[in-house]
Amino acid sequence: MDERDIVLNSVLEELKNKKLITELEKDIVDAIKVFLEQPIDRNSIKTKINEIDLKYNTYSDLLMVMPQDSLCTLDELNDAEMRNNLYLRINVLLGRRVNRKGDSI
């Protein structure tokens, strides 16, 4: 278990223990569960990445920070890269969750 797994497990536990969970938080929980699955299921990861991109437009957020020469299709990625790709999207969603909390304060 690497550092990312530990962090995401703690986020997962925090969200599971909430009484009221937002749609965004439910999507975060679902994405973390796919990320933590062992062995890695490429189809599940690919499906989750596409769902997140369609619903939250995370692809455009990532395009702004990714070097243009590193862009490729999901099918071209190895398992570790595919998992990293989902991890990046989870972080984008977590950032949006934090921003929404800040808006309501």
List average pLDDT for each run of 10 residues in the chain, which is 105 residues long. Answer: 87 89 94 95 96 87 64 88 92 87 53
**pTM over the 0.85 mark:** no
- How far CA 6 is from CA of 9, 17, 51, 64, in Å, comes to 5, 17, 24, 27
Q: Could you tell me the sign of the dihedral formed by the alpha carbons of 29, 25, 45, 68, in that order?
A: negative
Contact between 18 and 26 under an 8 Å Cβ cutoff? The reply is: no
Phi, psi dihedral angles at 99 (to 5 degrees): -65, -40
Contact between 48 and 31 under an 8 Å Cβ cutoff? The reply is: yes
pLDDT value, residue 73: 84
